[in-house]
A and B are shown apart, each in its own frame.
Chain A
Amino acid sequence: MELYVAALGFGLISVSVIAIAAVGFTMQFGITNMINLAYGEVMIVCAYVAFYVNRAGVNVWAAMIAAALAGAVLSFLLNRFLYAPFQRKGTNLIGMVIISLAASLILANILLPIVGYDTSSYQVDQGPLLRWNGLVLTTAQIAIIVVAVLLMLAIHGLLRYTRLGKAMRATAANPILARNCGIPTQRVIDMVWLLTGALCGVAGVVAGMNSENFAVASGAAYLITIIAAAVLGGAGQPYGAMIGALIIGIVTELSAAAIAPEYKEVVAFTILVLVMVLRPQGLLAKRGALAAAG
């Protein structure tokens, strides 16, 4: 039993990491109609930015801000100079998926000669252990959870209570109508990429902190968990991604305790397959995967 309580603790941190990443991923898809398969690699690039800042003697939490900035800029540029031109050209959804995969390949292999094949890890002051009914977490882990909760609340506030959030929701629902109503959709989309890019950067760092070490090759594993969470919740739905992250995070960590940690991603994948067979539109979405392409 104790094993499972401890696993639940790990699960909470996983949930935090996945939620930050999946909300960014799903917002890119929901608002700009772009399944950005380079997301995992952007996370890794940001993780390495924070790694070098951290190694230069800066606190990892400050390095996280550098990573968020790097993620924002990189995602913005990726959209401005790669995705948006292709979308304007009228490339179909499939073409866009292939392009983002190619972008992911390019990012990973530019990064590889720079940082090498070896795994890296942050120097984190884990702080004193906190115990509560068998749940054991370090202060740094609690901090990750707090960061995630704050970010989720910020996203919620942004989407519900600000003009920008309203404009984002309008753009997601119908970009042409939104533009005709006087919403500067181009600027809204730029803001989406900056914000989700920052989320992606933070996600890269917390993922790196959570998994002892990381390497260029970790991008694919990150991406799969993110896709599972986003699809489970209903792709394009930020709240769905949060619920998806909650389920995937807890279930994978419990399964790691019950079966074996190597099969965490397999469990995430099994959930994904079940969702696709039983409820392809996801838990929250009204249209999602079933909607006509376009």
Chain B
Amino acid sequence: MNSYYAATLAVYAAVDIIACIALNLQFGVSGIVNFSFIVFQSIGAYTAAVLSMPPDTANGAYQVYIGGFQLPFPIPWIGGAIAGGLLAIPVGLVVLRKLRSDYQAISLLVLSVIANSVIMNARTFLNGAAGIAQVPGPFSDQVDPLSQTYQLLYVGLTIPCVLLVWLVASRIVNSPFGRSLRAMREHEVAATAIGKNPVQLKMTIFIVGGVIAGLSGAILVGYIAVWAPSEWLYPETIILFAAVIVGGRGNNVGAMLGALLVPVGFFEVTRLIPATIGGWVPPPNLIPAMEWVAIGLLIIGFLWFRPEGVRPEPRRVFGGAPVPEDLVSAGSS
């Protein structure tokens, strides 16, 4: 295994971990089934791309896109994260306010399919189905992007992001706010009855998730340098759902584990499948199709046999309020 491959794997793993933590905050902790998660990742990627790229008249204008600001490193990533958060506001306002949870899920699924078809057909907006190519990564003007140093640099830039996201997510999960989210997930009416505003809670976590998803897209696009509608079809969201379900809904460690087991794991396992099996050459589309079948079976299997996942959400038990001394002694006498 050479260092390029290791770096690629590390960056993919980091992006998937960040994405799974965001999805876990929305789906695992708060019960929002965000079937358009990939759209938030994608807007982050597109934003980061157009912020870091030269205007589209450069390079002989072979691709068409809006923007092209050539901004230096942290801005595209920050911009991607902000874009994800901004997109969450209108989407959340339409979907999360009045609708029942299963309607929310199908509306978001529909949004995911439609957004993809719009971007694909609107060629002058973000270069349509062909997608944007040659996105410059951070510092690629100072360090040769093909060098080994650059690979290490990229991993070095990515890891702090993972840690930051991890920190924010654990703070949210363990805070009183996180408790309110879980209360809402378990019983929305009861949570409302004790004064929690479910719309506000949902909107907040939807935006937080959008920001993190946008960041994950920005990190990914800087590394792979291309972003096209075929990268973010709605089944991509299902992989992340599979990861969170396998890892353990509501548990950040579980989400991280799921990210390593499902998207990264599948990526690795496919590499090990030989091109010919005993002289039989499988048709080129068979293996990817079977991977998708496996993802579907994984979801169904886990929901049937182990719905809590590999690392279940910890049971948070309220130990009870401290009982005054005199009451304890009065009880024992």
Sorted nearest first, the 5 A-B pairs with minimum C-beta distance are A106-B296, A109-B292, A102-B296, A109-B289, A262-B121
A291 touches B100 (CB 8 A): yes
Q: In the complex, how many angstroms separate the beta carbon of B245 from the nearest chain A beta carbon? A: 8
Query: In the complex, A37 Cα to B105 Cα: how many Å?
Result: 11
Residues of A within 8 A of B111 (CB): 269
Stretch of A131-139, A197-205, A270-278 at the chain-chain interface: A270-278
Q: In the complex, how many angstroms separate the beta carbon of A112 from the nearest chain B beta carbon? A: 5
B106 touches A227 (CB 8 A): yes
A186 touches B (CB below 8 Å): no
* Selected contact of B293 from candidates A109, A228, A273, CB within 8 Å: A109
B98 touches A280 (CB 8 A): yes
Q: Which residues 102-123 of A have a CB within 8 angstroms of B?
A: 102-103, 105-106, 108-110, 112-113, 116-117
- Which range holds the interface residue count of chain B? 35 or more
Given contacts A105-B296, A266-B114, A293-B100, 8 further A-B contacts (CB under 8 A): A35-B102, A97-B102, A97-B106, A99-B300, A109-B289, A117-B285, A280-B103, A293-B102
Q: Which residues 285-323 of B have a CB within 8 angstroms of A?
A: 285-286, 289-290, 292-293, 295-297, 299-300, 303-304, 307
A82 and B300 contact, Cβ closer than 8 Å, known pairs A227-B110, A272-B110: yes
B300 touches A102 (CB 8 A): yes
* Proximity bits, B2-39, A CB within 8 Å = 1, else 0: 00000000000000000000000000000101010000
Among A228, A231, A260, the most chain B Cβ lie within 10 Å of the Cβ of A231
Residues of A within 8 A of B241 (CB): 98
Total CB contacts across the A-B interface at under 8 A:
128
Q: In the complex, how many angstroms separate the beta carbon of B295 from the nearest chain A beta carbon? A: 7
A126 touches B (CB below 8 Å): no
A94 and B113 contact, Cβ closer than 8 Å, known pairs A102-B299, A110-B289, A272-B107: no
* Selected contact of B110 from candidates A93, A103, A224, CB within 8 Å: A224
A-B CB contact pairs (8 Å), 23 listed: A37-B109, A86-B303, A91-B303, A94-B105, A98-B33, A98-B303, A101-B238, A109-B289, A109-B293, A113-B285, A113-B286, A116-B285, A220-B234, A224-B113, A231-B103, A262-B121, A263-B118, A265-B114, A272-B110, A277-B94, A289-B98, A290-B98, A293-B101
Closest to A230 in B: B106
Residues of A within 8 A of B295 (CB): 102, 105
Q: Which residues 269-299 of B have a CB within 8 angstroms of A?
A: 283, 285-286, 289-290, 292-293, 295-297, 299
Q: In the complex, how many angstroms separate the beta carbon of B249 from the nearest chain A beta carbon? A: 10
B94 touches A37 (CB 8 A): no
Residues of B within 8 A of A37 (CB): 106, 109
A35 touches B106 (CB 8 A): yes
- Classify the secondary structure of B's interface with A: helix
Residues of B within 8 A of A290 (CB): 98, 100
Q: In the complex, how many angstroms separate the beta carbon of B98 from the nearest chain A beta carbon? A: 5
A103 touches B99 (CB 8 A): no
Q: In the complex, how many angstroms separate the beta carbon of A291 from the nearest chain B beta carbon? A: 7
Q: Which residues 243-294 of A have a CB within 8 angstroms of B?
A: 260, 262-263, 265-266, 269, 272-273, 276-277, 280, 289-293
* Selected contact of B101 from candidates A91, A93, A224, CB within 8 Å: A93
Query: In the complex, A116 Cα to B95 Cα: how many Å?
Result: 36
Residues of A within 8 A of B103 (CB): 231, 235, 276, 280, 289
A95 touches B (CB below 8 Å): yes
Interface residues of A, count at CB 8 A? 50
Closest to B241 in A: A98
* Selected contact of B289 from candidates A97, A113, A223, A224, CB within 8 Å: A113
Query: In the complex, A273 Cα to B99 Cα: how many Å?
Result: 11
B117 touches A (CB below 8 Å): yes
A181 touches B (CB below 8 Å): no
A105 and B238 contact, Cβ closer than 8 Å, known pairs A37-B109, A227-B110, A292-B189: yes
Q: In the complex, how many angstroms separate the beta carbon of A247 from the nearest chain B beta carbon? A: 16
Residues of A within 8 A of B31 (CB): 94
Q: Which residues 24-53 of A have a CB within 8 angstroms of B?
A: 35, 37
Q: In the complex, how many angstroms separate the beta carbon of B13 from the nearest chain A beta carbon? A: 23
Query: In the complex, A82 Cα to B300 Cα: how many Å?
Result: 9
A110 and B293 contact, Cβ closer than 8 Å, known pairs A93-B101, A280-B103: yes
B235 touches A (CB below 8 Å): yes
A86 touches B113 (CB 8 A): no
Query: In the complex, A86 Cα to B105 Cα: how many Å?
Result: 18
Q: In the complex, how many angstroms separate the beta carbon of A36 from the nearest chain B beta carbon? A: 11
Query: In the complex, A117 Cα to B304 Cα: how many Å?
Result: 32
B109 touches A280 (CB 8 A): no
Q: Which residues 208-226 of A have a CB within 8 angstroms of B?
A: 220-221, 223-224
